[in-house]
Amino acid sequence: MNNQFSKNLIIILFIAFFALSVGFASAWGGDGDGGGGDGGDGGGDSGIGDGGIGDDGIGDGGIGDDGTGDGGIGDDGTGDGGILPDPDPVIPDPVIPDPVISAPTCSLTVSPSSIITGSNSSISWSSSNATSAYITSIGSVSPIGGARTVSPITTTIYVGTFIGAGGSVTCSATVYVSSPPPAPTCSLTASPSNINQGGSSSISWSSSNATSAYISPTIGSASISGSRIVSPSLTTTYDLISNTGA
């Protein structure tokens, strides 16, 4: 009797344990409502079933024979392996180009460019983008522009240096100086120098370093050398003027 009771008690306990085991397995591997994205069907025969953990748990994935299923993370995770956009993107500072600084320019001229010793020439200059200027043989000048009268005694090259934020530039002009030509000379003779009224005399003249000649009175313009027959009625003095043409 006691043996029979013991057998029955063991059977009842085994049935109860089996029922509890089945219930526990159903609770653990059952369909969970809280999985994130659909995690895909689990792995192979040895994987965990389609169950999931609650709202914050793992979805319907299971682990296969050798790998992990397509399970997704729950409501608080990232679905399908995507990456959320950066809520505060970094905007680079705008690129501001450096200001353009123009190089200075200049111009230097002389008029006339050729003079003789003791004469004058005018030197003129102009520039842009310059803040200071210097011309040799003159000194500091206005960087905007100007003019100056010069009287070099020898051929002179004037060099202007103009400086600005964009650098420096030079320009030049030359005044050619030559010695003045020698003064003209002349001679004038009359032969004979004494005549009677109604008689004639030959006037001869010559000149050097001259380009033209003038004889007064009565003869007028003449070559720089020559002769002329004259018959003055009164005593007359003849003058020869020789010119260089300069």
The CATH number of residue 171's host domain is 2.60.40.10
Say what the pLDDT of residue 89 is: 76
Same domain? 109 vs 168: yes
Residue 146 lies in a domain: yes
Say what the pLDDT of residue 47 is: 38
Question: Where in the sequence is the domain holding 120, given as residue range(s)?
Answer: 105-178
Residue 91 lies in a domain: no
Q: To the nearest whole number, what is the mean pLDDT of the chain?
A: 77
Residue 83 lies in a domain: no
Which of 21-59 are b and which e, b meaning 16 or more Cβ less than 10 Å from the residue's Cβ?
eeeeeeeeeeebeebbbebeebbeeebbebbbeeeebbb
Same domain? 15 vs 68: yes
Same domain? 150 vs 207: no
Residue 41 lies in a domain: yes
In the listed set 121, 153, 178, which residue is the last one of a domain according to the structure?
178
Token pair belonging to 133: 């200027």
Same domain? 191 vs 148: no
Q: Minimal CA–CA distance to 177: which of 120, 136, 135, 109?
A: 120
Same domain? 63 vs 127: no
Same domain? 63 vs 117: no
Q: What is the pTM of this model?
A: 0.48
Q: State the DSSP string of 32-93.
A: -TT-SS---S--STTS--S---STTSB-S--B-SSSB----B-TTS-GGG--PPPSSPPPPP
Query: CA-CA distances (angstroms) from residue 164 to 97, 123, 128, 132, 147?
Result: 21, 22, 9, 7, 20
Q: Cα–Cα distance between 107 and 81 in angstroms, integer?
A: 73
Q: Residue 15 in 3-state DSSP?
A: helix
Say what the pLDDT of residue 92 is: 84
Same domain? 160 vs 191: no
Say what the pLDDT of residue 209 is: 87
Residue 92 lies in a domain: no
In the listed set 178, 212, 227, which residue is the last one of a domain according to the structure?
178
Specify whether the CB–CB gap between 127 and 145 falls below 8 A.
yes
Residue 88 lies in a domain: no
Specify whether the CB–CB gap between 42 and 50 falls below 8 A.
yes
Q: Which burial class, exposed, middle or buried, applies to 176 when counting CB atoms under 10 A from its CB (0-12, 13-18, 19+)?
A: middle
Residue 15 lies in a domain: yes
Same domain? 139 vs 156: yes
Residue 82 lies in a domain: no
- Looking at residue 222, its amino acid is A
Largest CA distance in the chain: 209
| pLDDT classification of 36: cutoffs 50, 70, 90 | very low
How many domains does the structure of the chain reveal? Answer: 3
| pLDDT classification of 58: cutoffs 50, 70, 90 | very low
Per the model's pLDDT, the better-predicted residue between 215 and 48 turns out to be 215
pLDDT of 51 strictly over 70: no
Q: Model confidence over 96-136: pLDDT tens digits?
A: 888 889 999 999 999 999 999 999 999 999 999 999 999 99
Strands 167-178 and 114-116, by their bridges, are parallel
In the listed set 157, 178, 199, which residue is the last one of a domain according to the structure?
178
Percent of the chain having pLDDT more than 90? 43
Say what the pLDDT of residue 245 is: 64
